[in-house]
Amino acid sequence: MKTNITIFLAAYCMCVFRATTALSNSPASKKSKPVSIPSLGASQFRHPLDKQLTSMVQRLPLYDLAELGLRNTFPLVEQTVRLDLLSSCVKVSKEQLSHVYDLLLEACDILNLPKASIPELYVQSSPQANAYTLALQPKGNNSPSVIVITSALVDRCTLPELQAIIGHELGHLKCEHSLYLTLGGLASTPLRQLPFIGSQVDTALQEWRLAAEYTCDRASLLVAQDVQVVASALLKLFAGTSRYELDPKAFVQQAMEYEKQLETANPLVKLSIEQQRRTHPLPVKRVAELEKWAKSTEYRNLVEVR
């Protein structure tokens, strides 16, 4: 059982929360210093489906025992990952890439992450703009979690965009998606072996993973407090280029057009679109969802100056 948990945790940490992001310099930037949200809890920005399924996992029989087992197994994964990063990456600190370190600290403050949960941040050499995390907060004497950003990401993005991406990864950490998605996957294993029901359970888990990404896009927005910064990042991911000037506002309008046309699309077309989403939502869908939340009372109540 312990081996299975380790495998599941490693898979979710290193695959599910690997967020490919192509970014470059952009006119999109924060208009003012973002406000901190001192009392922010994960449930306040979770996507509704993410919140619902997380709550279901927390009510499972023997949940406390399963959580303890997973948390006791996590250090094995964390130690392996940390040693690899220390041997091959650059650790961000007050002395090393201090301006990036400041972005991390500010983002943690905005999202109300306790000092003990502030992750270590590493820069990994890669031509692909990317970021990922071990999405589980440390307990007791455990070492802090880690976030990895690639050198291409650091080179191409503006500071507000880079901080927004860090905010996305911090969202996974604050919500402890590795813990809940892994426990949900383990608890549903018997059902996934059953005919007919199995495919429905797989679909539900897939929808949960997508909802977790929407949740962390919300965390990204809470850090940036400018929807254009987050939209700019997704636009460049979708376009696949940083050589030409791209307009985030036009991309937001494109997202609205997508939503409108999807409502009247043929059911077979809708099914085809659903199959394209895989582990991460379509970029244009993410922008559409984020735009809706940015206009909501829920978001405004969180970021209004107190």
| Domain ranges for the chain | 2-303
Strands 120-124 and 90-92: antiparallel
| Spatial separation of the C-alpha atoms in residues 49 and 243, rounded to whole Å | 37
Q: Is the pLDDT of residue 179 over 60?
A: yes
Per-residue pLDDT tens for 229-248? Answer: 998 877 766 665 566 677 87
| Spatial separation of the C-alpha atoms in residues 63 and 122, rounded to whole Å | 33
Query: Which residues, in sequence order, are CB contacts of 53 under 8 Å at separation 6+?
Result: 180, 184, 204, 208, 211
Give the mean model confidence (pLDDT) for residues 5-18.
Answer: 44
Tell me the three state secondary structure of residue 49.
helix
Confidence (pTM): 0.82
At residue 19, the pLDDT reads 46
Q: Is the pLDDT of residue 91 over 80?
A: yes
Tell me the three state secondary structure of residue 253.
helix
At residue 165, the pLDDT reads 93
Q: Which residues pair with 150 in a beta bridge?
A: 124
Higher pLDDT, 6 or 289: 289
Q: Is the pLDDT of residue 219 over 80?
A: yes
Tell which residue, 293, 31, 305, has the closest CA to residue 171.
Answer: 293
At residue 203, the pLDDT reads 76
Per-residue pLDDT tens for 21-79? Answer: 433 333 334 457 888 898 999 999 999 999 999 999 999 888 899 888 888 888 888 88
Q: Which residues are catalytic?
A: 169
